[in-house]
Structure 1
Amino acid sequence: MSRKAMLALALLSSCVLTTAAEAASRTLQIIVSKDTQSLAVYDGDKVIATSKVSTGKEGHDTPTGIFSILEKQKFHRSNIYSNAPMPWMQRLTWSGIALHESDSVPRRPASHGCVRLPGAFARELYGMTERGVHVIIADAAVEPRVISHPDLFQPPAPVPDLLSDVPLRPSTVGVTMQEVQVAMHVPKPEIDLSAPSPQKAEEAEPAPIRILITRRTERDNIADIQSMLTELGFDAGEPDGVVGTATRSAILGYKRWKGLPEKGPLFTDALIKALHASTDRPMPPAGQLLVRQGFKPILSQSVPIRDPQIALGTHFFNVADVDRKKGAAEWQGLSLPNVLSASTRQRFGITEDASEGPEAMKAALDRIEIPADLRAQLGKMISTGSSLTISDEGVGPDTGDGTDFITITHSKARS
């Protein structure tokens, strides 16, 4: 029987459970399908638990996209809907979306936006997960598959330790009988395998990192402008991408210095070109690579995107296993449909849709140019459970303090 057939059979019942001890939390993914009102828990590429669910009813749609568990509470009450009980709550956004137990899971949209779970399954799932586990919510069923690509980050290859465990023994050579040190192979002492290794703590995997590759936002561009103005002696304040009094004053002062029109839009192509010429900075590339770890931002760097007029699509990759002895990581990936609004396409200069089908993930990876030093740095940082998201508009309002990257997708065109 095929895996899909087995999954369909399992979904005929309300839920199929596994024990928490069997689950390796770092490799777990939870995938919710709105059209079948079902949930599947993956450990790597294997389904280890399934359940029926109820997502948001009309007017209270459950958002689709890429989330992670931000907070867990065995008993929680809604601060939005009449203090309603939400046992075994696992929060996905700070704006009110969560997985939780409910007495009413009719396997059709019925909630106010959360994902309702049957009681027994909600408790079991709560015991299987930890904060940071990814949750994918999609309109139609998707499943991760193993993917190989030269641009997916890999840990550094180990450096061989030549004769590192061979002791030196004194010997006499030559006519002078001068004492020298030479390497001698001797049997290694017996090792008690039952004794704890002093290296285990050092070899523990670091916390998974979250990598997002997306388009540079208007805020990114404003932060660059602020930085250049301050470099030229026009104090624009903190380069935070927020236009305040200091930034406006600095821009007008620079325009007067360069003889640029002071009336009209604050930001113009002429202003941006003049600033880059004055600071001898190249124009920034179209992409931005961001890294978070433990729900905190730790790295940000611009990266080029080839053919920026073509949409990237929305793709999610996760590290299923890292073998540091071989310098290799196994990646899995999936793609989510995402219809960009007309204003988004105009803002980023997108005129062509992303490629579709099984090769869409590789096509997106092919177009992103990551410098070798950055690639090596991220290769050292990845661990089992690390992830990479690629999306045209990956940084939304739900991504903030105390979150991983939250990417919202849309199945219909927006005005």
Structure 2
Amino acid sequence: MSRVCAVARRRGVACVVSGFAAAFAASALWLEPGPALAFGEDVALQPEPPAAEAPPARKARRRAKPAAREKRVEAPSPDRPLFAVISIGNQSISIYNHNGLVERSMVSTGMPGHPTPEGMFTIIGRERMHHSNLYSNAPMPFMQRITWSGVAMHLGVVPGHPASHGCIRLPGGFASKLWGLTRIGERVVISPHEVAPTEISHPSLPSPKMQIEAAAEPATDGATVSDASEPKLLDPRKFADRLIVKAAADTAAAAQAAKDADAAIAGARQNVARAAADLRAAEAAQASAKSKAEAAAKSFETARTAAERPAVASATPETAPVSDGKAEAAKEAAAVAKTSAEAALAEATTQLDAAKAASAARAAEFSDAVRRSKEATLAVAAASKAEKDARLRTTPISVLVSKKDRKVYVRQGLTPLFEAPATIRDPEMALGSHLFIATATENGGKDLKWSVVSLPARYAEARSERRKKGLVEERSISRGPASSPAEALDRIEIAQDVRDRIAERLWLGGSLIVSDQPPSVETGAVGTDLTVKLR
């Protein structure tokens, strides 16, 4: 080829053969679907090549005046929340909000033998640049995870037919655009055929509970703020924001109280040590004073006995008075010493009692400081938990009513909240699988507008697959066609206290699934949403 080019150059002909061949080869490589890949596996993730354009003539470029730079106008962000509907049959993805279709693109789903699961899922993780840990560290730009078992939406080759090992491949431009639109917690529906959401209004759909914000307290001069003189109604999201502020303040106050309590413990511990030393000194002083008092008392008794003893018979009358005088003097001196020792003992005993009282007081102060420290630690934990729960309230709530389990499951922020019994009327009849999403507000922000997406039943196919595999039916297949969304809502009964607990946290983006199916195995303990799989 280089020899041909050389000849062409000598003849003044541009050599474009090799460039055209290289471009053709690159295009062929890009369009070649290659082996289908699963989550974390696309190894040919490249942006689609732009269409080749002939460069303008050099002279024309020189003569052309620079065109005025157009001001770039950013497209307005669509109203939230968004939700996605993927059609395996049409190999397409459609993004909706309460106004209808927002964006649409072709996709490539799982090929036969490696199908993309059908059902109702949620975006549970996002990474701008993810690398597969299964397939040679393959890049997966703009990855949005919908299951932890290995299914995600991400940039990849989109040949116009199913070609992956289960993931949903997105074209380059759309993958980056979708990344900027969606958020964790938004719903993704994967259907075997094209389905579209419809608006629905039904008395059984939950309504948000408006919370009362207390009026402001009067100012110190007796005046009140006019716009806060009456209670205000807050929707669950605004109420959650208030709870976050309060919980954050409570957490800070509890943390400061815990810090102060720890400092008080350190000071009380030093006071206890000093009081203990003072008590030991007082005990030693009292013991010494007691010993001296006892010795003085003994000396006095000896002197008194000597003074009262009769004069010795051999003594002459002239010496007897002298002996009696010395004994009396010794007695008086012993009495004085005894009185002084008793006074010293009394003083030492008083000081010992004071030291004991001080020691007991310091011990009580230490115990109180320890108690306050424990209470402050518990208050920190409680305030932190309250703040975490308040932040959880700002995320979409998810509810699943399962005919199979006769239960209602409630989660928020990919975290389980509670479960409760549910009653389904006519349980032998098919309920279907319906996803209701709160997409907008109405009635001045006091009520919600709902959209619903219903998936086609796959009971016959599921029965056939289990028969082929030789599996025993775990449950009877429901009879008849699936209920419409309104009929499904008519057939479910949930206790009022459960509805109230849901209403306290329900706001935009909240969803309700009514299905014959139980939560799928994709619904893990934490970090996943309530998921229903039909295949």
User: Within 2, Cα distance between the matches of 1:353 and 1:117?
Assistant: 37
Structure 2 match to 1:384: 508
**From 102, 117, 121, the counterpart of 2:170:** 117
The structure whose residues are more often helix, as a share, is 2
Shift of 1:100: 0.5
User: Within 2, Cα distance between the matches of 1:290 and 1:187?
Assistant: 44
Classify 1:106/1:325 alpha carbon distance in 2 versus 1 (closer, same or farther; 3 Å): same
Give the letter for the 2:529 counterpart.
Answer: D
Unmatched segments (≥5 aa) in structure 2: 1-48, 50-72, 219-224, 229-237, 245-392
Structure 1 match to 2:153: 99
Classify 1:291/1:80 alpha carbon distance in 2 versus 1 (closer, same or farther; 3 Å): same
Give the letter for the 2:518 counterpart.
Answer: G
Shift of 1:380: 1.9
Show the 5 A alignment for 1:87-236.
87-102=141-156, 104-156=157-209, 201-202=241-242, 206-217=394-405
**Residues 65 and 408 in structure 1, CA contact (< 8 A), matched pair in contact too:** yes
User: Within 1, Cα distance between the matches of 2:241 and 2:211?
Assistant: 19
Show the 5 A alignment for 1:265-304.
287-304=406-423
Superposed CA RMSD in Å reads: 3.5
Q: Output one character per residue of 1:168-189: Cα deviation in whole Å (capped at 9) or x when no partner.
A: xxxxxxxxxxxxxxxxxx9979
Q: Output one character per residue of 1:249-304: Cα deviation in whole Å (capped at 9) or x when no partner.
A: xxxxxxxxxxxxxxxxxxxxxxxxxxxxxxxxxxxxxx100011111111100111
Tell me the TM-score normalized by structure 1.
Answer: 0.64
**From 473, 480, 486, the counterpart of 1:353:** 480
**From 429, 437, 440, the counterpart of 1:310:** 429
Q: Is 1:404 the counterpart of 2:516 in the alignment? A: no
Shift of 1:69: 0.9
User: Within 2, Cα distance between the matches of 1:345 and 1:374?
Assistant: 35
Shift of 1:92: 0.9
Structure 2 match to 1:260: none
**From 433, 436, 439, the counterpart of 1:320:** 439
Structure 1 match to 2:499: 375
Give the letter for the 1:74 counterpart.
Answer: R
Shift of 1:30: 1.1
Classify 1:351/1:389 alpha carbon distance in 2 versus 1 (closer, same or farther; 3 Å): closer
User: Within 1, Cα distance between the matches of 2:88 and 2:121?
Assistant: 15
Classify 1:371/1:77 alpha carbon distance in 2 versus 1 (closer, same or farther; 3 Å): same
Q: Is 1:22 the counterpart of 2:22 in the alignment? A: no
**Residues 185 and 395 in structure 2, CA contact (< 8 A), matched pair in contact too:** no
User: Within 2, Cα distance between the matches of 1:405 and 1:397?
Assistant: 10
Classify 1:130/1:157 alpha carbon distance in 2 versus 1 (closer, same or farther; 3 Å): closer
Structure 2 match to 1:183: none
Shift of 1:85: 1.9
User: Within 2, Cα distance between the matches of 1:308 and 1:114?
Assistant: 35
Aligned length: 296
Structure 1 match to 2:92: 38
Shift of 1:325: 5.2
Classify 1:83/1:383 alpha carbon distance in 2 versus 1 (closer, same or farther; 3 Å): same
Q: Output one character per residue of 1:368-393: Cα deviation in whole Å (capped at 9) or x when no partner.
A: 11112222221221010000111112
Tell me the TM-score normalized by structure 2.
Answer: 0.50
Classify 1:324/1:160 alpha carbon distance in 2 versus 1 (closer, same or farther; 3 Å): farther
**Residues 355 and 363 in structure 1, CA contact (< 8 A), matched pair in contact too:** no
Shift of 1:111: 1.2
**From 122, 128, 136, the counterpart of 1:74:** 128
Secondary structure of 1:381's aligned partner: coil
**Residues 92 and 99 in structure 1, CA contact (< 8 A), matched pair in contact too:** yes
Classify 1:335/1:187 alpha carbon distance in 2 versus 1 (closer, same or farther; 3 Å): closer
Secondary structure of 1:377's aligned partner: helix
Shift of 1:71: 1.0
Secondary structure of 2:493's aligned partner: coil
Secondary structure of 1:375's aligned partner: helix
User: Within 1, Cα distance between the matches of 2:240 and 2:210?
Assistant: 20
Secondary structure of 1:83's aligned partner: coil
Q: Output one character per residue of 1:207-228: Cα deviation in whole Å (capped at 9) or x when no partner.
A: 21000110354xxxxxxxxxxx
Q: Output one character per residue of 1:27-78: Cα deviation in whole Å (capped at 9) or x when no partner.
A: 1011111111111111224211111111111111111111111111111122
**Residues 157 and 328 in structure 1, CA contact (< 8 A), matched pair in contact too:** no
**Residues 75 and 85 in structure 1, CA contact (< 8 A), matched pair in contact too:** yes
User: Within 2, Cα distance between the matches of 1:52 and 1:99?
Assistant: 12
Give the letter for the 2:524 counterpart.
Answer: G
User: Within 2, Cα distance between the matches of 1:305 and 1:118?
Assistant: 43
Secondary structure of 1:92's aligned partner: strand
User: Within 1, Cα distance between the matches of 2:180 and 2:101?
Assistant: 17
User: Within 2, Cα distance between the matches of 1:135 and 1:393?
Assistant: 17
User: Within 1, Cα distance between the matches of 2:454 and 2:413?
Assistant: 25
**Residues 101 and 122 in structure 1, CA contact (< 8 A), matched pair in contact too:** yes
User: Within 2, Cα distance between the matches of 1:313 and 1:73?
Assistant: 34
User: Within 1, Cα distance between the matches of 2:186 and 2:496?
Assistant: 29
**Residues 20 and 128 in structure 1, CA contact (< 8 A), matched pair in contact too:** no
Secondary structure of 1:88's aligned partner: strand
User: Within 1, Cα distance between the matches of 2:242 and 2:442?
Assistant: 15
Classify 1:187/1:305 alpha carbon distance in 2 versus 1 (closer, same or farther; 3 Å): closer
**Considering only CA atoms, is the larger Rg found in Structure 1 or Structure 2?**
2
User: Within 1, Cα distance between the matches of 2:179 and 2:444?
Assistant: 33
Q: Is 1:362 the counterpart of 2:415 in the alignment? A: no
Classify 1:30/1:19 alpha carbon distance in 2 versus 1 (closer, same or farther; 3 Å): farther
Classify 1:120/1:32 alpha carbon distance in 2 versus 1 (closer, same or farther; 3 Å): same
Classify 1:84/1:328 alpha carbon distance in 2 versus 1 (closer, same or farther; 3 Å): same
User: Within 2, Cα distance between the matches of 1:315 and 1:377?
Assistant: 22
Give the letter for the 1:313 counterpart.
Answer: G
User: Within 1, Cα distance between the matches of 2:472 and 2:454?
Assistant: 19
**From 306, 315, 330, the counterpart of 2:449:** 330
Secondary structure of 1:74's aligned partner: strand
Shift of 1:355: 3.0
User: Within 2, Cα distance between the matches of 1:391 and 1:73?
Assistant: 31
Secondary structure of 1:30's aligned partner: strand
User: Within 2, Cα distance between the matches of 1:50 and 1:368?
Assistant: 34
Secondary structure of 1:86's aligned partner: strand
**Residues 429 and 479 in structure 2, CA contact (< 8 A), matched pair in contact too:** yes
User: Within 2, Cα distance between the matches of 1:69 and 1:303?
Assistant: 27
Shift of 1:19: 6.3
Structure 2 match to 1:259: none
**Residues 241 and 394 in structure 2, CA contact (< 8 A), matched pair in contact too:** no
